[in-house]
Structure formats: structure tokens, C-alpha cells
Amino acid sequence: MRGKRFCPNLFDRNDDLARTTLEYLKDFFGIDEFKDTENKYTIDRAGWRNGNHVLNIEVEIKQHWKEGHRPFPFLEINLPTRKVKYIGLELPTFFVIFSADCKGAIVFSDRMVEKAPKEEVPNRYVSRGEYFFKIPIENAAVLTL
């Protein structure tokens, strides 16, 4: 199975912005605070409530969803199968995908990912051999920030 190579430029351009924008979703998750995890290259944020670590969040920015106030332009969310490592952890994991302008968010759980079929999806980074979980948009919360 092939996958997109790690791109430091994409990471630098998007990671801090996605982590910071997540702060707007504290009430949505019922969280007092988000903290970075020990390793910046594993799960992105840990959600804490009443001094307890209660959930994990993996964030990303989807550049093809330009304006978050507009509907998500796809019927399915493509989540790379390399993210399987965040499923089945001790605490629940939620995936948050922000629009390019960070004014929209899609939220879904690791349980949705577990149920999702996998499909090869050619893309601009990997022309063939990369697989994605296909999560129907109706199985996610679509938020405007």
C-alpha cells in the first residue's frame, strides 16, 4: 500500500493553524482545554476536562474545501488509511477537518472510521496505490465557525 510522503512544507503551513483553530471547538467537545501531545508527529491534541485526559483529536486542513461557510463540496470524506493508527486507542479519537479558510469544520469519530469501507483514490500526491477510508458526509458533524 502506497501513501503520500511526509511534506515538511505542507506540515509547516497547516499544522499550527489547525491546532490553534481547534480552540474554537472546546464547547463542542465539552473540553476545558486542549494540550499538545508529547510527540508533535503523533495524535495532534489531547482534550482535557476537569483535569482528566478524556479524548484525542487529529486535525487537518483540507485545501480543496476553500470556504467553510459553503457546504462541504464532496459526498464523502477521504481519510488516508495511514490514520488507522489512531483508531482503537484507549480514549476515543475524533478527526477534525477544517476548510482552507478555517471557517468550517467536519468532525467524525474513530467509530465512524472503523465502519467505513476502504477504496483506492488516485490523487495529486500518489497517482495509484493509496487507500482511503470513505466516510459519508452524513456520518459527520459539519460546523461553521
CATH number of the 8-144 domain: 3.40.1350
Query: What share of the chain in percent tops pLDDT 70?
Result: 85
pLDDT tops 70 at residue 125: no
Residue ranges covered by each domain of the chain: 8-144
Q: Which residue has the higher pLDDT, 7 or 89?
A: 89
SS3 call for 101: coil
What is the mean predicted confidence (pLDDT) over 18-40? 92
Contacts of 142 (CB under 8 A, 6+ apart): 71, 72, 104, 105, 106
* Beta-bridge partners for 94: 57, 109
Question: Which segment of 20-29, 63-72, 120-129, 136-145 scores lowest on mean pLDDT?
Answer: 120-129
- Where are the strands (E) in the chain, listed by range? 33-36, 45-49, 52-62, 76-80, 93-99, 104-109, 118-120, 131-136, 141-144
**Alpha helices (runs of H) in the chain, residue ranges in sequence order:** 8-21, 26-29, 110-115
CA distance 45 to 110: 15
On whether the CB atoms of residues 124 and 139 are closer than 8 A, the answer is no
Distance of CA 96 to the CA centre of its chain: 4
Of 25-29, 126-130, 132-136, the least confident: 126-130
Q: Which tens digits make up the pLDDT trace of 72-95?
A: 999 999 999 989 999 999 999 999
Grid cell locating 104: 468550517
> Percent of the chain scored above 90 by pLDDT?
66
Secondary structure letter of residue 124 according to DSSP: S
pLDDT band at residue 63 using 50, 70 and 90 as cut-offs: confident
